[in-house]
Structure 1
Amino acid sequence: MENKICLNSNTYHGFEFADAVSGARAAGIHFIEIAAVRGYTEHARWEMTDDEVESMLATLRDNDIAILGMCGHTNLMTEDGRENFRKNLGLAARLGASYVVTGTGETHGDEHVIEDDSELVEILRELSAVAAGYGITVAVETHGASYGTGAQIKELVGKVGASNFGLAYDTANVILYADTLPYDDLKQSADVIVDIHLKDKAGESTEWNFPAIGDGDTDFRRVFSILEEARCIAPLSIEIEFTAAGPSSVDEVHDALLRSAHAVRELRGE
């Protein structure tokens, strides 16, 4: 597989960006997707000065890690959310990210059902145009009551019609939000995928339980087979969100990431 193995720094929610860098280096991961999610995981913020941005980039260079993308989730259905996303696009450009991921509504617990998507389509066209000016791709993640599956977002991609707009496929969110296993859904939507949040799922479908890769119930061998057949080479951004209680320490996160990276490489025959 040509897909780059990447760390989604949201794995280190509640910990510092430096912890994410240390964990990635220990796991032999050379790419990162930085979380810049306002009010949740703020490893990067659009208010960062040029010196702060350069310091972050220097730290990554020193650890042989390159930025691929950024999680910049905001509520696009509000003006404040849209303005924050525009600023996140500017931040992503300063960091050298090639794509920015978002949901369409609240970052967590998004239960809002969008009956008429015409407003959202126009919003996404406008934001994709802004992103194009930076050379960045916008990707909506499988998330929430309205867009829990890849198939739903693929339909949205068709309506928006922007070449730099696509899907961020989360292999566990489709179970949590849409009670849908990722396999057939992934086959239907693989051609519009920009980024893959590689996340395992354990327990009941509605249970917040996202362990290390290989510790849950997801058949990742089947997932990788689907991606290969579809010739999808989007990054595999490892994301571990544990249970609602969260990890007990940063060492638990480091261990989960190390085991996840090993499991992914083993599944790929490396």
Structure 2
Amino acid sequence: MIHQLAINSNTYHGFSLEDAVKGASRAGFTQIEMAAVKDHTAHVLPDMSEQELDDIKELLHEYRMKCIGIGAHSNVMREEGIANLLKSIDLASVFNCKYIVTATGDAHDDSDVIEDERILIQNLQPIIEKCERLNKVLVIETHGNNYATGVALKKLVHSLSNRVKINYDTANVIFYGDILPYDDLEASIEFVEFIHLKDKLGNNCEWNFPAIGDGNLDFTRIFHTFTKMNYNGPISVEIEFTPEGPRDLQEVNKSVQRSFQYLARILR
């Protein structure tokens, strides 16, 4: 299962994509989910020039890093969010990856409340149609007030299309959904096709997401569920630290190294 691991470049929020690729590669990662969130972690964006995109391709090639997804969180309850997500699907084609990752509301501190799910479903239709044309999969993250758990998202994606699956974030379900992930993951994993592997410290509502293995989650139990249910999708490691953030790039790199080493041990 170690071959399914990737680094989520949002782990390097505040640092460059080059920092992320170099640090993750040295830690042992060979795959990356590239963050494409304007005004947050904009490591790649759909309005970049062809030369800028080619430079990113060269960077990935130099470090033998494969892109497995574009983290293009967009508020699809707004017209600009729909437009951004539609353009971001093209990035998946540019980097030859299968997955587009989003939530339904704001990328950070999502306080939106969707009162009429029919509007959301309508807004997603052009996105689903484009994913169908380009042979991509939209994975919606467990995130925010509306779809904080896998079970809640399972109902939504089941009503949509085979082009829409769940991106299960193992710590977001605690932070947003106030539940532990174990039973919820097992109840929804048939619709899960992407994982954000994230650890958690502190109270459920506390923003504290340390290196994998440094928090309170039982990852042996989580990986047992993956194995039992034959999960074979990407497992994107994400570290979001505390609201203060990491002290420096060295702290990020050490946390990434520690996460990979911990996972390598439990996945032997």
Which segments of 5 or more consecutive residues in structure 2 lack a partner in the other structure?
Answer: none
Q: Deviations over 1:7-51 (max 9, x none)?
A: 000000000000001111111110000000111000001111122
Deviation at 1:3, TM superposition (A): 5.5
8 Å contact from structure 2 (residues 141, 167) kept in 1: yes
Q: Equivalences for 1:256-267 in 2 at 5 Å?
A: 256-267=255-266
Q: Does 1:206 align with 2:205?
A: yes
How many angstroms apart in 2 are the aligned matches of 1:5 and 1:95? Answer: 18
Q: Secondary structure in 2 aligned to 1:100?
A: strand
Cα distance between partner residues in 1 of 2:119 and 2:3: 34
2:74 match: secondary structure = coil
**1:91 aligned partner, one-letter code:** L
Superposed CA RMSD: 1.0
CA distance in 2, matches of 1:173, 1:136: 24
Are the aligned partners of 2:167 and 2:196 in contact in 1 as well (CA < 8 Å)?
A: yes
Residue of structure 1 in register with 2:156 after alignment = 156
- What is the Cα deviation at residue 116 of structure 1? 2.3
Deviations 1:197-251 (A, max 9, x none): 0000000000000000000000000000011111111111000000010000000
User: Structure 1 CA distance, aligned partners of 2:194 and 2:40?
Assistant: 21
Q: Which residue of 1 aligns with 2:102?
A: 102
1:133 Cα deviation from its structure 2 partner: 1.6
In structure 2, what residue type is equivalent to 1:36? A
For 2:124 and 2:142, the matched residues in 1 are separated by 15
Q: Give how far 1:136 is off.
A: 1.1
Distance between the aligned counterparts of 1:100 and 1:8, measured in 2? Answer: 13
Structure 2 residue matching 1:265: 3-state secondary structure? helix
Deviation, 1:113, is: 2.1
SS at match of 1:210: coil
Shift in Å at residue 66 of structure 1?
A: 0.5
SS of the residue corresponding to residue 167 of structure 2 reads strand
Structure 2 partner of 1:223: 222
Q: Report percent identity of matched pairs.
A: 41
* Distance in structure 1 (CA, Å) of the matches to 2:125 and 2:52: 31
**Structure 2 CA distance, aligned partners of 1:2 and 1:264?**
8
Paired letter, 1:12: Y
1:233 is matched with which residue? 232
CA distance in 2 between counterparts of 1:25 and 1:214 reads: 19
Q: Deviations over 1:56-82 (max 9, x none)?
A: 111111111111001000100000110
Please state whether the residue corresponding to 1:140 is helix, strand or coil: strand
Amino acid at match of 1:204: N
Q: CA deviation at 1:2?
A: 6.6
Mark the CA change 1:44 to 1:118 in structure 2 (over 3 Å): closer, same or farther.
same
Provide the rounded CA distance (Å) in 1 between the counterparts of 2:204 and 2:224. Answer: 23
**Which range is displaced more, 89-98 or 174-183?**
89-98
Shift of 1:265: 1.1
Q: State the distance in 2 between where 1:201 and 1:157 align.
A: 26
Secondary structure of 2:176 counterpart? helix
Alpha carbons 2:70, 2:91 under 8 Å: kept:
no
Is 2:43 the counterpart of 1:43? yes
Aligned CA distance change for structure 1 residues 264 and 218 (closer, same or farther; 3 Å): same
What is the number of residues matched between the two proteins? 268
TM-score by length of 2: 0.98
The aligned residue for residue 123 of structure 1 is 123
Is 1:60 aligned to residue 60 of structure 2?
Answer: yes
SS in 2 for 1:178: coil
Unpaired runs of 5+ residues, structure 1, are none
Q: Find the counterpart in structure 2 of residue 174 from structure 1.
A: 173
- Post-superposition Cα deviations, 1:151-204, rounded to whole Å, max 9, x if no partner, equal 1111001111x1111000000000000101000000011111121000000000
What is the aligned partner in structure 1 of residue 190 from structure 2? 191
Give the Cα–Cα distance (whole angstroms) in 2 for the partners of residues 114 and 78 of structure 1: 12
SS at 2:159 equivalent: helix
Q: Residues of 2 paired with 1:137 and 1:3: CA distance?
A: 20
Letter in 1 for 2:122: E
State the distance in 2 between where 1:191 and 1:117 align. 22
The code of the aligned residue for 1:134 comes to: L
Q: Give the aligned residue type for 1:241.
A: E
